[in-house]
Amino acid sequence: MSQQSRSSTDVQQAGGNALVTEQGRTSIADSVVLKVAGVAAREVNGVHAMGSGGARAFGALKDKLGASGQSPSQGVSVEVGERQAAIDIDLVVEYGVSIPDVSQAVRRNVIQRVERMTGLEVTEVNLSVDDVYLGGDDEEEEPEPARVQ
């Protein structure tokens, strides 16, 4: 097939899934990319939690009040265009893991999942490691027994 006889649909599909075709346009909401990226980041071994200190504290408060679990998009922000997305993620890693290795694995998994599920090209994944989980930091402690009765 010559370059001149290729339709615009063929050209767009050559780079991946076409979101804009002659038959119509598919738009992906920011919230979809947020969730996909958040779940993909959490799948990586060595990631303990996501979000800055304030976001994690707010999430812990919601848990104590009975809200269900951590939001999949906590610690993730995105910019989504028609064909591309840029993603920022705040991480808490487990003590003892290689931060460069975990970062590379998170970046690779997020790009792979978002591109495969949405068809968007991920232009960048910026990671910010905000804390190191030492174990026991956020586990509920047993209340101390009363000293007097």
pLDDT per residue as tens digits for the range 39-98: 999 999 999 999 876 544 555 544 555 555 568 889 999 999 989 999 999 999 999 999
Return the pLDDT at 9: 35
Quote the CA–CA distance of 73 and 110 in Å, as a whole number: 13
Nearest Cα to Cα of residue 114 among 78, 75, 145, 143 = 78
Per residue in 12-26, pLDDT (tens digit) is 333 445 788 899 988
Overall average pLDDT of the 107-112 stretch: 98
For the segment(s) 26-133, the CATH number from 3.30.70.380, 2.40.340.10, 3.30.70.1350, 3.40.50.10310 is: 3.30.70.1350
**pTM, 2 dp:** 0.71
What pLDDT sits at residue 68?
54
Domain residue spans of the chain: 26-133
